[in-house]
Homo-oligomer: A and B are copies of this chain.
């Protein structure tokens, strides 16, 4: 008994940016346009993706408010949330409802209204998705993303300058596409000068490495009956809440597992994908995503960026919409906005200057929830593509799934030695922490890892031996130990550069 096929019968976006419209009106605006395209005035199910309307806007019960606002009170309506991948989470939920055969049409609407609060309030609300133990260190989303960026550079032998070049290129590439996208928050190209002039948020991440705070909504109508595009593959996986528990800092298990599921369901492989919308809330994440999705081997994503392989003219265009970076990132909406973009490009419903070089047949979207721990991958194909492949499908995608690190014992040791995995200076830490806040991530001699604070304006070097001391507040503080390696430092830099030049294949 195969499930019912699930088509996209209509799709729409509001413009993204700082908008005066209340959230429910944003949602209704996108929904109304998608319903109109689908030629429907009613649906039997509504799925509303909002991440945290209660705290951002003081309004709850959004599922009801939206159905009411659309004049379709009566329709079953539910709110779905998977942190910053909420839009994709709502899509998956609706997909199952239609695939089950119990629902013929489902309206998926996702949005967020974020600009009503101050940046510090918004940052606090967004940080609620971070594991409590790591939030206690003052870790915000940019801080953790910065630690991941640093670890990536270390693992793949990139010096800081090369890393910055890569991140700048991602930002410039996405802003260039945003400049063409009438829905984008930033419809302006980004120059190298402007990128480097923008302040550091948490080194190596600058303001232009981080997606903005945005209002906006997206909507898609799913149907088991008809539509120009079919949802051919859906994947969804989680990872540990604490970043320190991850077996790998430089890839996301959750993307890899979600991708495996989606490829298998759609019977396609990474090399069949013609373009992708990849979650670039931080520029680094786009690079990691491009590897986790199998477009490039681990450790080759950064070079592909420099080589232009992910540009609109490249081998595998990534974020033709401008991505979260330039289109904007209303946290609840982004995962669904990606799907709307993929739909539009597949059916050619974009301005000619936005078209891709080759007419696409397979599109992929990847959305990250939280700090890479609730990720979804969706594969879209034209409805004309046969439901079942002519020949048995052979997967070419066999990523490593990294087992988690051990947890520390409940009684944390007062002193323990370890090795620094990554470090950053967070320029604007949450209230109650000194600025800048020195945050390191260290692997202890017992195998578990932890965040730790450090003093000073110069982060210790990844790979350094450190001693960790439990402070009275229950948090670790780290100190780099004087080591014999120190005199080797200049040589290490040469070795890193060499490895970088060779594009060393290293999956950690």
Contacts and interface: CB of A to CB of B under 8 A. Distances in A.
Contact of A67 (B80, B99, B238, B242): B238
A332 to B, nearest CB: 12
A281 to B, nearest CB: 14
Nearest to A94: B96
B238 A74 contact: yes
B241 A64 contact: yes
Contacts of A180: none
**Interface of A (DSSP majority class):** mixed
Which of A73, A75, A236, A257 has the largest number of chain B CB atoms within 10 A? A73
Contact of A1 (B4, B63, B78): B4
A99 B81 CA distance: 21
A477 interface: no
Contacts of A401: 74
Interface string A217-243: 000000000000000001011111110
Contacts of A245: 68
Contacts of A237: 74-76
A1 B224 CA distance: 12
A81 to B, nearest CB: 4
A399 interface: no
Interface string A115-153: 000000000010011111000000000000000000000
A64 B77 contact: no
A103 interface: yes
A238 B75 contact: yes
B240 A73 contact: yes
A438 interface: no
Interface in A58-84: 58-61, 63-65, 67-68, 73-83
Nearest to A84: B61
A277 B245 CA distance: 42
Interface in A364-395: 369-370, 373-374
A78 B64 contact: no
Contacts of A67: 238
Interface in A240-274: 240-242, 245, 253-254, 257-258, 265
A361 interface: no
A101 B61 contact: no
Contact of A60 (B52, B65, B78): B52
B74 A60 contact: no
A103 to B, nearest CB: 7
A12 to B, nearest CB: 22
A432 interface: no
A404 B72 CA distance: 11
A2 interface: yes
Contacts of A481: none
A364 B144 CA distance: 47
Contact of A81 (B4, B78, B100, B241): B78
Nearest to A68: B241
A183 B142 CA distance: 43
Contacts of A240: 68, 73
A490 interface: no
Given A128-B61, A370-B64, A78 B76 contact: no
A307 interface: no
A93 interface: yes
Contact of A96 (B83, B100, B258, B374): B100
Contacts of A352: none
A55 interface: yes
A487 interface: no
A462 interface: no
Contacts of A80: 78-81, 93
Among all A-B residue pairs, the 4 with the closest Cβ atoms: A76-B236, A60-B128, A61-B129, A99-B100
Interface of A: 1-4, 46, 51-52, 54-55, 58-61, 63-65, 67-68, 73-83, 89, 92-93, 96-97, 99-103, 125, 128-132, 234, 236-242, 245, 253-254, 257-258, 265, 369-370, 373-374, 401, 404
13 contacts: A1-B1, A1-B2, A61-B128, A63-B83, A64-B83, A64-B241, A74-B237, A74-B253, A74-B254, A79-B80, A93-B96, A96-B103, A102-B265
